[in-house]
Amino acid sequence: MEMSFRAAGHHVAVHLAAVAVILLCACAGSVAAGARKAPAPPPAPPKEICSRTFVLTEVFNPRTLITPTGIQFSLTDLSPIIGYTIAYTDDDLFLGKGVTNSSVLVGKVTSVCYILNPIDSYCTSTVTFGSFGDLTSFGPFGDSTGNTFQNAIPGGTGIFSGAQGSMKVEVLSGGQLWAYTITLTKAPKCT
């Protein structure tokens, strides 16, 4: 009987060893498979923002306007906030000039502006293209429909790292809609 117990114990031990080897191989195989599988590459930036010159349109969003506390004014009369600073945070930015139902949202714009008079401000603006980077511009901002002016782009981040150039602003609708023609001295680093 003792021999039969040892034989049965040996048989169980062989089965346990076989199961352990199978589990070890299965785990090693999945670890090796995981090690061989590289993560998916990040998405490429839109090709339109990968050239030296491209056009964008900003659409004003009144919910993101930050103004001095306690000063009453309307968007049609900015005279009460002359001499103050206001901010436009996260206005939508679309590819191309103008906006239609098929316009492609490409980023956001944040601007901080010192109000000089009801039409003229001095602004620092950053256009943000999500994880691809941003461009910053600054200069006078004459917000009157039909007005066109140019501001400097002194730098950027991400694919725009080290960027220099200019941003031509065309006021499509004062206080509401602006087209930006971005011209860089070098193309963004999209590849």
Per-position pLDDT tens, the chain of length 191: 444 444 455 444 444 444 444 444 444 445 555 557 788 877 889 999 999 999 999 999 999 999 999 988 888 888 999 999 999 998 999 999 999 888 999 999 999 999 999 999 999 999 999 999 999 999 999 999 999 999 999 999 999 999 999 999 999 999 999 999 999 999 999 97
Specify whether 12 is located in the same domain as 73. no
How high is the pLDDT of residue 53? 98
Q: Is residue 65 part of a domain?
A: yes
Count of domains forming the chain: 2
How high is the pLDDT of residue 34? 52
Q: Is residue 191 part of a domain?
A: no
Q: What does the DSSP 8-state code read for residue 126?
A: E
Q: Is residue 9 part of a domain?
A: yes
How high is the pLDDT of residue 76? 83
Range of the domain at 64: 47-184
pTM: 0.76
Specify whether 60 is located in the same domain as 129. yes
The candidate with the shortest Cα–Cα distance to 90, out of 147, 148, 118, 130, is 130
Beta bridge partners of residue 4, listed in sequence order: none
Specify whether 160 is located in the same domain as 91. yes
Q: Is residue 189 part of a domain?
A: no
Torsion of CA 49, 52, 55, 57, to 10 degrees: 60
